[in-house]
Amino acid sequence: MKTIKTEFRSFRTLNTILLITVLAFGSIFILSGCSTTKDTAVETTPPAQETSQTPETTQPVDHNVDIDPTPLTDAEKALSLEGYGAKGALADKNLTINDMLMYAVQDEYLAHGEYLAIIDKFGSQKPYTNIASAEETHLAYLKEVYLSYGLDFPADDSANHIVVPTDLLKAAETGVQAEIDNIAMYEHFLTYDLPDNVREVFSALKSGSESHLLAFQKQVDKLK
């Protein structure tokens, strides 16, 4: 009888040990599985991709144009240009609102035509394709302002002012200088007391040109 009790205790002890062992291995397996799943999720998560272009080269800058603004006065609508585009604007000492709008349109037409000419000569490539498209958006913004004031939007007469560079480095340097002049023009315009519509769009276009400048400068650095 004593032998049977001893064997029973031994059997119960063995079962307890086996149960503890199974639970221990089960816990290790579960923890290992969670860790593996977590590691796999981290490994399979695709890294963020860098972009070589700034947002404005493909996307428009936010702006807001009142479709029914306070009308311009006769003095503000007067047009007396002293030159063409940004260089003309920076040399003009007697700017009216209409003068500024016209210089802005001329300079955006000029940039657009210049970049298309570069694409035509050297092939379709960034940043020229992106920025040429952005220039079309800039012109659309200015057209909104013209329409809000009931003014006729100017035709593109930039062809006589376009000079096609001889190589891609000079093309990138041309882009840098064009954007520097464009930014300086808008900075100068923004020192004036402007209607909200005009100030809103000039500010947006200046911001866009600052992004273009960075893209062209990056291209210059790459080609030197």
Give residue-wise pLDDT tens across range 96-118.
999 999 999 999 999 999 999 99
Q: Tell me how far CA of residue 122 lies from CA of 21, 112, 125, in angstroms.
A: 74, 15, 8
Assess whether pLDDT exceeds 60 at residue 210.
yes
- Alpha-carbon distance of 89 to 190, in angstroms, equals 12
Give residue-wise pLDDT tens across range 37-67.
434 343 334 434 333 344 444 455 677 787 8
Q: Which residues contact 120 (CB under 8 A, 6 or more apart)?
A: none
- Alpha-carbon distance of 180 to 209, in angstroms, equals 8
What pTM was estimated for this model as a whole? 0.73
Measured in residues, the chain has a length of 224
Give residue-wise pLDDT tens across range 176-192.
999 999 999 999 999 99
Assess whether pLDDT exceeds 90 at residue 10.
no
- Alpha-carbon distance of 86 to 23, in angstroms, equals 79
Assess whether pLDDT exceeds 50 at residue 36.
no
pLDDT, residue 68, reads 84
- Alpha-carbon distance of 142 to 208, in angstroms, equals 13
Each domain of the chain, given as residue ranges in start order, spans 1-45, 55-223
Give residue-wise pLDDT tens across range 131-156.
999 999 999 999 999 999 999 999 99
- Alpha-carbon distance of 3 to 182, in angstroms, equals 104
The CATH H-level (homologous superfamily) assignment of domain 55-223 is: Ferritin, core subunit, four-helix bundle (1.20.1260.10)
Closest listed residue to residue 175, CA positions, set 164, 160, 185: 164
